[in-house]
């Protein structure tokens, strides 16, 4: 469902970082849309019709195997944009973009973005810098999956997802998280139970709640902090700052 935009105001941090005059010029090309849990925003190998600037959504970037199994290689929230292939000159992506939760995003036609990038170098520069930040996250995901425990990877995933959504509670089922992390469900169950006993999370009825974020940061590995600092620098914040305001 789409809605008209009364004025240039958004919770997407990339768009908010633009000069007001540039955002005002982009505004007529943007449409706010409501998106559903597990909705596929673009399929692997198919043309990308729209790019989306998340506001209250969390998007998983999935790599599929020939046998149909999938693994999450990146997460995009309100500090990013879905459809980076368009920015980088492509028409399609080998990854699938799928919603982790229900929420809103600002949508722009892929063709309109291409034209806008030529007209507004400041937008092109900002989005290219974000592409580097996303690359850092994807690279750290690969390193993390190879070297760190399930509990550390689980904590890192929770922190990234917590950054991307509003509030402390978001939809989550263990079978979905098993696919996201590429591990057996029994491993997820064990890690979740340990974090719950420590008072860091609570879960039930398909919902996950972060109850002790500092605790999760202590349990998690260095991979979260590395990617987070890259995001902080994108928005002009010093290393170690908390770049995403959760207000």
CATH of the domain at 158: 1.10.10.10
What is the tens place of the pLDDT at every residue in 79-121?
A: 999 999 999 999 999 999 999 888 999 999 999 999 999 899 9
Does residue 28 sit in the same domain as residue 58? yes
Pairwise pLDDT comparison (176 vs 207), residue with the higher score: 207
Position 122 scores a pLDDT of 94
- pLDDT in the model for residue 245: 42
Residue 48, pLDDT > 60, answer: yes
Q: Are residues 94 and 57 in the same domain?
A: yes
Shared-domain flag, residues 112 and 24 = yes
Domain count, the chain: 2
Query: Which of 37-46, 59-68, 180-189, 206-215 comes out lowest in average pLDDT?
Result: 180-189
Contacts of 153 (CB under 8 A, 6+ apart): 144, 145, 181, 183, 221
Residues 218 and 164 grouped into a single domain: yes
Residue 181, pLDDT > 60, answer: yes
Tell me the chain's radius of gyration from C-alpha atoms.
18
10 Å CB burial of residue 141 (0-12, 13-18, 19+) is: buried
* CB 244, CB 161: distance < 8 Å: no
Residue numbers of the domain that contains 60: 2-142
- The residue among 90, 117, 142 that closes a domain is 142
Query: Torsion-angle region of residue 51: left (phi > 0), alpha (psi -120 to 50) or beta?
Result: beta
Region 33-62: mean pLDDT is 94
pLDDT score of 174 = 75
pLDDT at 97: 96
Q: Where are the alpha helices (H) located in the chain, listed in sequence order?
A: 13-16, 20-26, 84-87, 110-119, 121-147, 150-164, 174-181, 185-197, 213-219, 222-234
Lowest mean pLDDT among 39-48, 99-108, 139-148, 165-174: 165-174
Question: Which residues, in sequence order, are CB contacts of 21 under 8 Å at separation 6+?
Answer: none
Structure confidence at residue 246 (pLDDT): 43
Q: Which residues contact 160 (CB under 8 A, 6 or more apart)?
A: 75, 77, 137, 224, 227
- Distance (Å) of CA 19 to CA 23, 36, 126: 6, 31, 11
Percent of residues, the chain, with pLDDT higher than 70: 92
138 and 24 in a common domain: yes
* Predicted TM-score (pTM) of this structure: 0.85
135: left (phi over 0), alpha (psi -120 to 50) or beta: alpha
How high does pLDDT run on average in the chain? 87
DSSP for 173-198, written as a single string: -HHHHHHHHTS-HHHHHHHHHHHHHT
pLDDT of residue 228: 85
Q: Is residue 245 part of a domain?
A: no
In the prediction, which pLDDT does 40 show? 96
């Amino acid at each position: 469902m789409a809605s008209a935009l009364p004025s240039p105001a958004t919770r997407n941090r990339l768009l908010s970082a633009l000069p007001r005059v540039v955002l005002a010029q982009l505004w007529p090309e943007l449409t706010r849309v409501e998106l559903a849990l597990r909705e596929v925003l673009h399929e692997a190998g198919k043309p990308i019709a729209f790019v989306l600037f998340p506001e209250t959504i969390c998007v998983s970037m999935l790599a599929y195997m020939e046998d149909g199994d999938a693994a999450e290689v990146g997460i995009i929230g309100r500090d990013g944009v879905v459809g980076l292939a368009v920015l980088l000159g492509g028409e399609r992506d080998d990854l699938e973009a799928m919603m982790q939760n229900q929420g809103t995003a600002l949508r722009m036609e892929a063709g309109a973005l291409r034209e806008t990038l030529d007209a507004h170098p400041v937008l092109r520069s900002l989005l290219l810098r974000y592409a580097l930040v996303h690359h850092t996250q994807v690279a750290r995901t690969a390193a993390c999956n190879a070297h760190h425990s399930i509990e550390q990877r689980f904590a890192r995933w929770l922190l990234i997802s917590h950054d991307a959504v509003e509030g402390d509670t978001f939809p989550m089922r263990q079978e979905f998280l098993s696919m996201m992390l590429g591990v057996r469900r029994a491993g997820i169950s064990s890690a979740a139970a340990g974090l719950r006993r420590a008072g860091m999370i609570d879960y039930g009825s398909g919902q996950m709640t972060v109850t002790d974020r500092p605790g999760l940061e202590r349990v998690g590995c260095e991979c979260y902090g590395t990617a987070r600092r890259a995001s902080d620098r994108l928005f002009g914040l010093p290393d170690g700052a908390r770049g995403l305001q959760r207000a």
